[in-house]
């Protein structure tokens, strides 16, 4: 039996009151619910406050470069599809520096669960605008307010027909944990955008701001229906939907590779008979 | 020399199929047992322009390209104009009589009489092949090899064209180009530098390769992709080069020996990933096939101007090894060595080649697959109960377990970290980790490939070189020796780490040292000075995008 | 009077029959229609067959790096908003290597007209899959067929509410030229995805293939209606809509900068009085 | 020394406001006329952990940080524990009596009696300020400066706390730390390295700056952003570093003098753009504020380990210049020089700084804005009717017109190009273009900033250094000279190009040379050997993330 204690307790470098604490709690809950032992799981993260999260969990972890967690995770998963791979990083990491990888991972549909700690700001570098910062958001780097429109990750993911697209809020731990469990269960790429208050640098999108707006999608909501998903994806403002917004069952990326049917790449030995066969082409 | 050493140049527009003509002739020559050195010259376009495929063929070993052409196979009139000046005194131009060009040494072939237009390349093969003494059946066999997949009727028609071409050439009995037969021809394979690298990687145990297309590296990965199913590997085209190297790092971390291949501009995008591999101590082999820069430069030409860039790529300080193969065999064997070192020292290892070598077909002795060992990623079990991915050890090498393969947890971090792999700001640990990583360089130094000396140890003239120019420099020195000069060559196929003890005596004993490089600033000469204090004032440099040849070297030295 | 001759005639490095020729023709037509003189216009391109296009036009040009034309063009436009800036490059350039910049330029809404020569393949590097290659498309790099889903630039642009989103086909020069004119006229970012046959490397999506499928959107089609635009954006297969698919009038990026109201940055001199004022903060 | 040279260290958690305390004290000191050197030490987190802000203050000029602390202002108990060992023999710890800590030299201040908790930082300022002799009004003025914007009531309450604190300190008459008054205090500005760079850029004529946030470079652009409206410039946060440099290249090409600022990992992503700037011959100033690597490393610490990386960044070969300011004044003036050179030689010019210098506040003499010239991008008109952007000239510099500003067409290309800027595969042109670009280096060499010698030309001991360590090395040598040793320093504030004639005599005349660098491998020493053959065997290196100090240098030399 895997218990929450297996995932350990750590001191963090986060600010008291930060939404990241609840996300970590929800992650642990989800892993325990799914009875995944620490060594069966691998977290990949980038750089930022969110990206430190896997360090506060007793598990396998690759904490890479800012913005580059998705390609690392893709490589890991192709090498060893047996691992349950979660990616955890910030909105800057995934929608800013790493935007191109997000597009690619959606197109590929690699079996990863991506948790974006979306605090609508760059936390670790002390409060510049992030791609999800609202237009007009004022920071030291944007003293006259952000001149760009915010990035809507849900809308883009639904438009691209990503396999699993959900939104959650760090303030609703049970719901968030449920989303993570579903994301892990989903065979293919799962994007979970998690609204997360940053108490130090985002004084606009606070806990109360999110809490007032977030509402769970109704039970009869059909995430398989693309058209309504596209509409829900665009809801933002006084009401912010949380839950599984869109889902389909495109085959996972890994399923396209015949070579993976013989087992993971990692344990494989060189087959000399085949090499000799290959060499014939050069004779 | 024409009886034992011929230079055949096939020229035409992109899209005319001159590479196929070249490959079929080359393969026929190799199958017969001859030695070849191919030089491909092409433009950054798909149709039109002017390309060439030169095959220097030798009964004895040939090692370098040659500029003067004995047999010019002109697939269009422009080829005649562009290359006639390079024709050797008794050289011959094979051309279509319909070009309406005339000249002394012109063999006008009635292409349209011999076949339909779409088979005129086969006619060119047949005529040229017959003139140099290739057997019709041998050529037919090679034709089949290349066209076999396209269906029997096409093969048949090609064969017909070949037969008619050979017949025509025999009837016109052109003499002076016939190469001698072998009584006991050696078995050889034909491959270019990129193919040899991909085969070296496969035999080493490569399991994952990510790439973004970039000339002249692309054919490495195309070759791997073609064999992927059979070899049980995955080759993935990434969305960009940043993704490519990060994917490879991820796959390698998980336990799949990994490689990326690119060229200057693409590599520029990978350098942050190089630093990542070093900090996380993840094995990775990186092939940089050089082309002339800066920026987009000349995408399809050759140069050796990224030595310093690759040597210092990535922020921060960390050990690395750089191989610079000089032959096709070295492409194969040094790739294998690169995989071994990457695995042993857990970090980035480079192969620095260039367009000339990447595209240069040669004849190589089969590699003896049975004797070749392959690597296995990581360790399979930990001896201690407290596993620490970055345990501080005397040689700097920490035990590498693979995540998910044991119950031990594997924690890797791009931040400075504790022995367990967790992020730290402990500055004493920082210092110890810097020193641990640096200690790995000692091991690498202890097993460098020493430079290759050809000639006397105390030469009057010592030619220093690295990478793809090995053959050209060696031949240049050998020509000088035939002229009575005591010339030697010292060639580096591993350019980092440099271990001065391996070569300082030779440098010091030489009367005069000249460094030969395909770049404008003499980067290797500078590196030698940095590492040894030895100043090489004289240089032969080339930076017009063409490969070094023995003629070029001799001419520049005599200026 | 600006005439087509002002834009010159050049030899190209393209294959006979390539769709690029028609695109170039349409571009010239559009420039002449809008009576733009060569020196008032600047083209920015990346690297690829498409990216060579501006070299075959007598105008100002910055031919930069593969994938990086959009940030260069953004810099140009901020420095000198008076220039009419067009960006011309391939599908690989804009949707592959440069994917992150596409997202950013849409969010910014910089006043640029982007012409993507979309031949669904990497032409210059000899036929690898591009982001828009169909799933299963076979190339030497993808001998078992492309395992990813193709990128739908129109759907993503509409989902992100780009200012102007159009599709055209190189085989309909008049229509394409009209799209380019509208794109130039639009104050903000205009994406024009141009279907372009590559006779050398794409034997699936040929001229005939496109020609049979492309249909002009009906006259009563309302590109201002986001919901219907989103539907049209997803049409692909037997029928492929061409025309202006979506349009809005978000303010352009440049309009957010007060400093640009005093004229372009390029001709400006250092104002010492203001500098002294600034220095006071350090006293 | 305590009467003319004091070292005050304020320590606490991130989020406690210790930087504000430090800035207010520093500014008060500078306003009074003292010289300061600030060393900021912080962790990569927003709250908690342990940070410090050290102000070394001098009646005469101070130039380097000092390790031993005279006045330790502890905002929490942990600070006392972490720094008490560094206390100088007569040093004092100022702490809140509520910490419950006791010790010999502890000044326990009843913070809770003197003010509400939220004003305890002001109490710390007041007590510390009073002890060193800062006038209450002076401090109140500085407080206003920092809190003024937050409203009158807050200013009022802060003032109250200050008054009470000063009163308490005066009543407790702590002696031994009082700095002498000035009769005629010099007017000074207070700024750190990053601020000086941004001001240098503004006075030069910077018009466009693109960036992606990265410690320790970010405050350069934040500073620019704060002044953007007034200065008439645009500062844009890019989606990534690749976009940042490409935007800057675009803006500069169009005629807006442009800059980017980043650190190691972010710069890694820019190196392709560096090569682009070189090939298209577009001016650009690139600031690389170093921090310890590899990879993410220690994001908030200092190091000088990216010299070789920056020097060889970008594929292909091209000229560049690299400045490495050693003082805040140099940050300002060399930034200006960087803009001039970038414009004159049309290519990339670098400023290589580090976290220590970036964050180090100092007192500087006002720059005299009226006397400063600024650059103007490009030429305004062409003399010829056939304008060619890359016309081949004797000095390698071609006329740069701006697109759209004349009727001439401006064509720039990242491929090798003709004089008109169009893509070419003409290999003769290639060669000429390589040579043209290289010729620009000659010009750059003719106007390098020579290294700065302090001490005798024929020293017994010569300390070699570059960049931010200037003060520490200079002070170390001066201490040695006081000890009777004939020690000199040779400091490089421009590290590329290197012109050996400027310094070889000094190197050769010295009895012994030691190179001092904040890295693990001695990169500058290697570069000196590469360029001159002169081998510097002895090095003082530091790579634990902390800045070089005179104490560290002396201790390492005495080992
Ligand atoms: C290549 C690179 N660029 C910039 C940085 C600096 N950096 C570190 S974290 C960060 C932003 C973090 O924002 P986000 O991803 O939203 O995470 P958060 O801290 O808000 O959780 C940046 C810009 C870096 N480490 N690497
Ligand atoms: C950084 C970098 N990576 C790769 C390349 C090689 N490259 C040149 S063009 C090209 C793809 C071109 O495809 P696309 O953009 O679709 O243009 P097309 O040739 O099809 O018009 C690539 C990968 C490069 N020049 N730079
Ligand atoms: S800065 Fe913001 S995101 Fe980071 S730990 Fe603090 S509250 Fe959380
Ligand atoms: S390769 Fe394709 S895209 Fe390139 S010129 Fe030829 S047909 Fe056009
Ligand atoms: Mg964030
Ligand atoms: Mg394309």
Give the nearest chain C residue to A255 (CA atoms): C147
Q: In chain C, positions 52-81, which contact chain D (CB-CB < 8 Å)?
A: 52, 55, 58-65, 68, 70-80
User: What would the mean pLDDT of B322-347 be, rounded to a whole number?
Assistant: 98
Tokens of B32: 């017969």
Q: C65-104: per-residue pLDDT in tens? A: 999 999 999 999 999 999 999 999 999 999 999 999 999 9
pLDDT band at B2 (very low <50, low <70, confident <90, very high): low
Residues C196 and C209 sit within 8 Å (Cβ to Cβ): no
Which residue carries 């989606």 as its tokens? D239
User: What would the mean pLDDT of B383-409 be, rounded to a whole number?
Assistant: 95
Query: Separation of D238 CA from ligand 1 center, angstroms?
Result: 13
Q: Cβ–Cβ of B294/D276 closer than 8 Å? A: yes
Q: Count the alpha carbons within 13 Å of B419 in the hemisphere toward its beta carbon.
A: 13
| C215 touching D (Cβ < 8 Å) | no
Measured at the CA of C139, the angle between CA C137 and CA C141, to 5 degrees, comes to 120
Instruction: Provide the Cα torsion D124, D127, D131, D133; round to 10°.
Output: 100
pLDDT surpassing 60 at residue D1? no
Strands A240-247 and B48-58: unpaired
Alpha carbon of residue A164 to chain centroid: 11
Confidence (pLDDT) at B383: 76
What is the widest separation between alpha-carbon atoms in chain A?
Answer: 72
- DSSP letters along D106-126, please? EEEE-HHHHS-GGGHHHHHHH
Question: Which residues have a Cβ under 8 Å from the Cβ of B318 and sit 6 or more positions away?
Answer: B275, B278, B279, B347, B437, B438, D294
- Phi/psi for C187 (5° steps) reads -90, 90
**Mean pLDDT score across all residues of chain B:** 96
- With a 6 Å cutoff on the Cβ, whether C91 touches ligand 2 is yes
Q: B171-223: per-residue pLDDT in tens? A: 998 888 999 988 888 899 999 999 999 999 999 999 999 999 999 999 999 99
- Rounded Cα distance between B499 and B492, Å, is 11
Per CB-CB distance under 8 Å, the chain C contacts of D236 are 74, 78
Give the nearest chain A residue to C143 (CA atoms): A257
Tokens of B204: 């080493």
Among candidate residues D298, D308, D291, the one with its CA nearest the CA of residue D353: D291
- Rounded Cα distance between B42 and B52, Å, is 6
Ligand nearest to the CA of C68: 2
Confidence (pLDDT) at C264: 96
Per CB-CB distance under 8 Å, the chain C contacts of D414 are 47, 63-65
Per DSSP, helices labelled H in C160-225 are 173-185, 207-213
- Rounded Cα distance between A151 and A153, Å, is 6
CA of C19, closest atom in ligand 4: 8
- What is the ipTM score, two decimals? 0.98
Grouping H, G, I as helix, E, B as strand and the rest as coil, residue D99 is helix
Instruction: Provide the Cα torsion C204, C205, C206, C210; round to 10°.
Output: 140
Count the helix, strand and coil residues of chain A and give each as a percent rounded to the nearest 5. Answer: 40, 15, 45
Residues B220 and B198 sit within 8 Å (Cβ to Cβ): yes
Q: Give, in order, the Cα–Cα distances in Å from B72 to each of B32, B51, B59, B90, B131.
A: 21, 13, 19, 11, 12
Span between the terminal Cα atoms of chain B, in Å: 25
Share of chain D above pLDDT 90, in %: 93
Q: Cβ–Cβ of C265/D233 closer than 8 Å? A: yes
Confidence (pLDDT) at D2: 62
- Of A147, A160, A256, which has the smallest distance from its Cβ to C155's Cβ? A160
Query: Along chain C (283 residues), what's the average pLDDT of each consecutive run of 10 residues?
Result: 96 97 98 98 98 98 98 98 98 98 98 98 98 98 98 98 98 98 98 98 98 97 97 97 98 97 94 96 94
Query: Separation of B262 CA from ligand 2 center, angstroms?
Result: 12
Question: Which residues have a Cβ under 8 Å from the Cβ of B179 and sit 6 or more positions away?
Answer: B3, B4, B6, B34, B57, B59, B132, B133
Per CB-CB distance under 8 Å, the chain A contacts of C256 are 144, 147
- Rounded Cα distance between B228 and B26, Å, is 26
Q: Cβ–Cβ of B213/C144 closer than 8 Å? A: no
Which H or E run contains B362?
strand B362-364
- Rounded Cα distance between D377 and A71, Å, is 41
- Rounded Cα distance between D522 and D537, Å, is 10
Q: Give, in order, the Cα–Cα distances in Å from B337 to each of A217, B204, B323, B334, C250.
A: 57, 8, 9, 5, 58
Question: Which residues have a Cβ under 8 Å from the Cβ of D33 and sit 6 or more positions away?
Answer: D182, D185, D186, D188
Among candidate residues A138, A210, A198, the one with its CA nearest the CA of residue A167: A210
Residues D106 and D77 sit within 8 Å (Cβ to Cβ): no
- Rounded Cα distance between D430 and B520, Å, is 12
pLDDT band at A11 (very low <50, low <70, confident <90, very high): very high
Confidence (pLDDT) at A267: 85
Fold for B191-364, please state it. Rossmann fold (3.40.50)
Fold for D5-185, please state it. Pyruvate-ferredoxin Oxidoreductase; domain 3 (3.40.920)
- Of C148, C155, C253, which has the smallest distance from its Cβ to A107's Cβ? C148
Question: Strands across the sheet with D538-541, in order?
Answer: D452-454, D487-492, D461-466, D512-517, D538-541
- With a 6 Å cutoff on the Cβ, whether B213 touches ligand 2 is yes
Measured at the CA of B269, the angle between CA B263 and CA B275, to 5 degrees, comes to 105
Distance from CA of C143 to the nearest CA of A (A): 12
Tell me if domain D5-185 and domain D452-556 are identical in fold.
no
Q: A14-48: per-residue pLDDT in tens? A: 999 999 999 999 999 999 999 999 999 999 999 99
Select from B280, B315, B529 the residue whose CB has the most chain D CBs within 10 Å, as the one to mutate to test that interface.
Answer: B315
Tokens of C30: 């559009």
Residues A224 and A247 sit within 8 Å (Cβ to Cβ): yes
Confidence (pLDDT) at B184: 86
Question: Which residues have a Cβ under 8 Å from the Cβ of B514 and sit 6 or more positions away?
Answer: B461, B462, B463, B464, B536, B538, B539, B540, B557
Confidence (pLDDT) at A106: 98
Q: In chain C, positions 123-152, which contact chain B (CB-CB < 8 Å)?
A: 123-126, 128-129, 131, 140-144
Confidence (pLDDT) at B559: 81
Confidence (pLDDT) at B41: 96
The neighbour count for residue B372, using CB atoms within 10 Å, is 17
Measured at the CA of A20, the angle between CA A16 and CA A22, to 5 degrees, comes to 95
Query: Separation of D44 CA from ligand 1 center, angstroms?
Result: 11
pLDDT surpassing 80 at residue D384? no
Measured at the CA of C195, the angle between CA C112 and CA C120, to 5 degrees, comes to 105
Query: Which residue owns the Cα nearest ligand 2 atom 25?
Result: C66
User: What would the mean pLDDT of B119-145 be, rounded to a whole number?
Assistant: 95
Confidence (pLDDT) at D383: 76
- Phi/psi for D326 (5° steps) reads -110, -10
Q: Cβ–Cβ of C122/B295 closer than 8 Å? A: no
Confidence (pLDDT) at D385: 83
pLDDT band at A226 (very low <50, low <70, confident <90, very high): very high
Confidence (pLDDT) at D359: 98
Tokens of D210: 């693109």
Question: Looking at the domain that runs over C9-281, which CATH code has it been given?
Answer: 3.40.50.970
Alpha carbon of residue A189 to chain centroid: 9
- Rounded Cα distance between D254 and D247, Å, is 11
Share of chain A above pLDDT 90, in %: 99
Give the nearest chain B residue to D528 (CA atoms): B530
Q: Cβ–Cβ of A269/B404 closer than 8 Å? A: no
Q: B452-502: per-residue pLDDT in tens? A: 999 999 999 999 999 999 999 999 999 999 999 999 999 999 999 999 999
| A273 touching B (Cβ < 8 Å) | no
**Mean pLDDT score across all residues of chain D:** 96
- Phi/psi for A196 (5° steps) reads -140, 115
Among candidate residues B255, B261, B251, B188, the one with its CA nearest the CA of residue B223: B261
Q: Where are the domains of chain C?
A: 9-281
- DSSP letters along C139-173, please? -SS-TT---SPPP-HHHHHHHTT-SEEEEEETT-H
Give the nearest chain A residue to C233 (CA atoms): A159
Q: Where are the domains of chain B?
A: 5-185, 191-364, 452-556
- Of A108, A156, A253, which has the smallest distance from its Cβ to C160's Cβ? A156
Distance from CA of D277 to the nearest CA of B (A): 8
Chains in contact with C, where contact requires at least 3 CB pairs less than 8 Å apart: A, B, D
Fold for D452-556, please state it. Rossmann fold (3.40.50)
| A240 touching B (Cβ < 8 Å) | no
Query: Which residue owns the Cα nearest ligand 3 atom 1?
Result: A123
Q: D50-108: per-residue pLDDT in tens? A: 999 999 999 999 999 999 999 999 999 999 999 999 999 999 999 999 999 998 899 99
Any bridge partners for residue C115, and if so which? C88, C192
- Of D268, D430, D435, which has the smallest distance from its Cβ to B275's Cβ? D268
Residues D73 and D16 sit within 8 Å (Cβ to Cβ): no
Tokens of C66: 């593969």
Among candidate residues C44, C94, C87, C88, the one with its CA nearest the CA of residue C64: C44
Any bridge partners for residue C87, and if so which? C44, C114
């Amino acid at each position: 039996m895997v218990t929450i204690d297996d995932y350990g307790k750590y001191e963090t470098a986060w600010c008291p009151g930060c939404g990241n604490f609840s996300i970590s709690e929800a992650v642990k809950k989800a892993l325990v619910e799914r009875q995944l032992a620490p060594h069966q799981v691998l977290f990949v993260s980038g750089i930022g406050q969110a990206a430190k999260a896997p360090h506060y969990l007793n598990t396998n972890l690759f904490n890479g470069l800012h913005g580059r967690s998705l390609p690392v995770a893709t490589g890991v998963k192709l090498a060893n599809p047996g691992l349950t791979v979660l990616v955890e990083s910030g909105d800057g990491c995934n929608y800013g520096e790493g935007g191109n990888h997000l597009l690619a991972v959606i197109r590929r549909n690699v079996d990863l669960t991506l948790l974006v700690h979306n605090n609508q700001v760059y936390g670790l570098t002390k409060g510049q605008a992030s791609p999800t910062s609202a237009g007009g958001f004022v920071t030291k780097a944007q003293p006259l307010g952000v001149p760009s429109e915010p990035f809507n990750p849900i809308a883009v993911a639904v438009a691209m027909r990503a396999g699993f697209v959900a939104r959650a809020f760090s303030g609703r731990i049970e719901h968030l944990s449920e989303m993570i469990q579903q994301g892990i269960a989903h065979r293919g790429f799962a994007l979970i955008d998690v609204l997360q208050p940053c108490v130090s640098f985002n004084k606009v999108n606070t806990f109360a701001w999110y809490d007032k707006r977030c509402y769970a999608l109704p039970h009869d909501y059909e995430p398989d229906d693309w058209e309504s998903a596209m509409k829900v994806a665009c809801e933002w403002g006084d009401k912010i939907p949380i839950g599984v917004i869109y889902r389909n069952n495109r085959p996972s990326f890994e399923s396209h590779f015949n070579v993976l049917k013989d087992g993971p790449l990692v344990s494989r030995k060189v087959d000399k008979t085949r090499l000799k066969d290959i060499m014939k082409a050069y004779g | 020399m024409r009886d034992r050493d011929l230079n055949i140049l096939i020229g035409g527009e992109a899209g005319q199929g001159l590479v196929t003509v070249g490959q079929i002739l080359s393969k026929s020559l190799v199958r017969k047992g001859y030695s070849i050195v191919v030089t491909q010259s092409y433009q950054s376009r798909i149709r039109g322009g002017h390309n060439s495929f030169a095959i220097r063929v030798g009964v004895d070993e040939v090692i370098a390209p040659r500029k003067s052409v004995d047999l010019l196979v002109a697939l269009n009139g422009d080829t005649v104009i562009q290359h006639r000046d390079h024709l050797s005194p008794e050289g011959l131009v094979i051309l279509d009589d319909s070009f309406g060009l005339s000249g002394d040494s012109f063999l006008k072939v009635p292409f349209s009489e011999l076949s339909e237009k779409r088979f005129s390349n086969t006619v060119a093969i047949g005529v040229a092949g017959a003139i140099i003494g290739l057997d019709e059946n041998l050529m037919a066999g090679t034709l089949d090899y290349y066209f076999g997949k396209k269906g029997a009727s096409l093969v048949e028609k090609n064969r017909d064209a070949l037969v008619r071409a050979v017949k025509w050439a025999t009837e016109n009995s052109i003499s002076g180009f016939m190469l001698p037969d072998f009584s006991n021809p050696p078995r050889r394979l034909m491959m270019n530098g990129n193919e040899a690298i991909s085969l070296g990687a496969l035999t080493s145990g490569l399991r994952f390769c990510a790439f973004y297309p970039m000339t002249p590296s692309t054919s490495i990965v195309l070759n791997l992709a073609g064999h992927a199913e059979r070899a049980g590997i995955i080759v993935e085209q990434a969305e960009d080069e940043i993704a490519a190297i990060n994917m490879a790092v991820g796959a390698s971390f998980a336990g799949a020996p990994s490689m990326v291949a690119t060229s200057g501009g693409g590599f520029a995008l990978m350098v942050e990933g190089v630093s990542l591999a070093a900090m996380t101590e993840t094995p990775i082999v990186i092939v940089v096939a050089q082309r002339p820069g800066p920026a987009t430069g000349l995408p399809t030409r050759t140069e050796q101007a990224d030595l310093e860039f690759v040597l210092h790529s990535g922020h921060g300080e960390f050990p690395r090894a750089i191989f610079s193969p000089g032959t096709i065999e070295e492409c194969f064997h040094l790739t294998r060595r690169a995989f071994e070192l990457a695995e042993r020292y857990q970090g980035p290892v480079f192969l620095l080649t260039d367009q000339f070598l990447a595209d240069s077909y040669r004849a190589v002795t089969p590699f003896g697959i049975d004797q070749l060992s392959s690597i296995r990623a990581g360790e399979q079990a930990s001896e201690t109960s407290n596993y620490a991915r970055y345990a501080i050890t005397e040689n700097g090498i920490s035990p590498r377990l693979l995540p998910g393969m044991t119950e031990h947890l594997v924690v890797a971090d791009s931040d400075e970290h504790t022995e367990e792999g967790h992020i730290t700001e402990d500055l004493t640990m920082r210092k110890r980790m810097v020193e641990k990583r640096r200690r790995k360089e000692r091991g690498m130094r202890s097993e460098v490939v020493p430079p290759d000396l050809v000639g006397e140890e105390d030469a009057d003239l010592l030619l220093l070189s690295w990478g793809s120019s090995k053959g050209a420099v060696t031949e240049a020195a050998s020509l000088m020796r035939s002229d009575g000069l005591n010339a030697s060559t010292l060639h580096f196929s591993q350019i980092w780490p440099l271990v001065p003890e391996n070569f300082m005596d030779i440098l010091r004993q030489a009367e005069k040292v000249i460094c030969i490089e395909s770049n404008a600033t003499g980067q290797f000469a500078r590196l030698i000075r940095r590492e040894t204090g030895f100043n090489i004032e004289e240089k032969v440099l080339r930076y017009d995008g063409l490969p070094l040849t023995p003629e070029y070297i001799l001419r520049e030295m005599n200026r």
